[in-house]
């Protein structure tokens, strides 16, 4: 028997690029479209290699994510334990919408030209099998700062901690080395933000603007952005995600924003952060940054390992009766994981956190109820 190849992750954890394309697509109706998308999955690695070899020093990478409805349509059961549609969040003042998305293409490189070439080749391969939902071109701003002038992604783990925070492990062995990603497009009211004094902006974020130094806990407001993004488990260990955010802008249209993209081993961690932001911790103590930033999209995707993505070109290798090629994915039988939908999150500085993450079948948390 040929040895079984260990799954290898997609390029979830890569250095901060100079440019990125965030492309969300829906699959058109019909069997032909489904076959085209599956063929794209099977050929993705080869397509990336073909473009990357043109200018290797540009460090091109691409991550492909699959939305919950698309997974059910293309592959059925079994499915990743944490995959579900993004649930909208409505607080007393701010709203995080849920928007459609079957596929995510997250393309990164040192230059816009490589992102464009990769995107064009992907769309040529997919053709009429997909329709565009949204496309955003992000760029690395000065000193890796967001459009609002503060350094972004400073709490990202690195090295082995980043791998542990983003990649599925033995808790869902069929989908090991996969990841979950939530994307949201935020538009900033720059006129209002720029009219706000720097010291007040720093209280909104919880950090100094120039030096990027976090405020002391006894000074930092509990509704600051950095305060509400700290998540702990029941034992007090901080839980992390990896953000790959980039700013985007169209000066002629007075459009300035941040494309939030957060990779996590468990999507409930990112969801808890968003609950804290939009509903508040405690409810009503929402993230003050939302007074200047409006979420206009919200979608959750599963990112299969590169090994599994290639195997999906022939359908779900774990489905009853499936016969994947030898060495393509783990073939040992495993028990289907059971997800309770409950995130074992403790409290932060004595402030209770939500312990129930949004579930695919349940109502979204609503602070107005």
From residue 122, give the alpha-carbon distance in Å to each of 6, 45, 58.
Answer: 27, 11, 18
Q: What is the maximal distance between C-alpha atoms in the chain?
A: 68
Q: How far apart (Å, rounded) are the C-alpha atoms in residues 145 and 152?
A: 6
Q: How far apart (Å, rounded) are the C-alpha atoms in residues 56 and 49?
A: 9
The reply to whether 152 belongs to the active site is yes
Active site residue: 152, 172, 266, 287, which one?
Answer: 152
Q: What does the DSSP assignment read for 214-233? A: BPPTTTS-TTSHHHHT-EEB
Q: What is the separation of C-alpha 339 from the centre of its chain, rounded to a whole number of angstroms?
A: 20
Nearest to 175 by CA among 309, 347, 42: 309
**Which strand (E) or helix (H) includes residue 67?**
strand 61-67
Nearest to 185 by CA among 296, 271, 339: 296
From residue 139, give the alpha-carbon distance in Å to each of 80, 172, 209.
Answer: 32, 35, 20
Catalytic residue ranges: 152
């Amino acid at each position: 028997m040929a040895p079984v190849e260990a799954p290898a992750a997609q390029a979830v954890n890569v250095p901060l690029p100079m440019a990125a394309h965030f492309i969300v697509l829906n699959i058109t109706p019909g069997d032909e479209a489904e076959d085209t998308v599956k063929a794209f999955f099977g050929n993705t690695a080869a397509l990336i290699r073909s473009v990357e070899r043109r200018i290797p020093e540009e460090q091109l990478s691409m991550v492909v994510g699959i939305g919950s409805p698309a997974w059910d349509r293309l592959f059925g059961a079994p499915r990743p334990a944490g995959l579900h549609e993004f649930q909208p969040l409505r607080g007393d003042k701010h709203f995080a919408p849920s928007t459609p998305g079957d596929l995510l293409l997250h393309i990164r490189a040192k230059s816009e030209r490589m992102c464009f070439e990769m995107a064009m080749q992907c769309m040529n391969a997919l053709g009429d099998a997909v329709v565009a939902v949204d496309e955003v071109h992000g760029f690395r701003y000065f000193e890796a700062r967001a459009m609002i002038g503060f350094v972004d992604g400073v709490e990202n783990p690195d090295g082995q901690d980043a791998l542990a925070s983003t990649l599925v492990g033995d808790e869902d062995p069929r989908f090991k080395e996969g990841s979950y990603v939530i994307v949201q497009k935020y538009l900033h009211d720059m006129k209002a933000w720029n009219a706000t004094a720097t010291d007040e902006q720093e209280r909104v974020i919880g950090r100094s603007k120039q030096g990027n130094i976090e405020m002391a806990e006894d000074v930092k407001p509990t509704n600051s952005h950095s305060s509400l993004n700290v998540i702990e488990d029941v034992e007090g260990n901080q839980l992390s995600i990896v953000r790959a955010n980039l700013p985007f802008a169209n000066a002629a249209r007075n459009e300035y924003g941040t494309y939030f993209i957060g990779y996590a081993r468990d999507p409930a961690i990112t969801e808890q952060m968003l609950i804290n932001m939009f509903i508040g911790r405690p409810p009503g103590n929402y993230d003050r940054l939302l007074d200047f930033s409006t979420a206009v999209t919200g979608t959750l995707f599963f990112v299969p390992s590169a090994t599994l993505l290639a195997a999906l070109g022939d359908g779900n290798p774990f489905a009853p009766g499936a016969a994947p090629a030898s060495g393509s994915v783990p073939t040992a039988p495993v028990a289907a994981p059971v997800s309770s939908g409950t995130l074992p999150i403790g409290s932060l500085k004595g402030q209770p956190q939500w312990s129930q993450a949004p579930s695919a079948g349940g109502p979204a948390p609503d602070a107005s109820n």
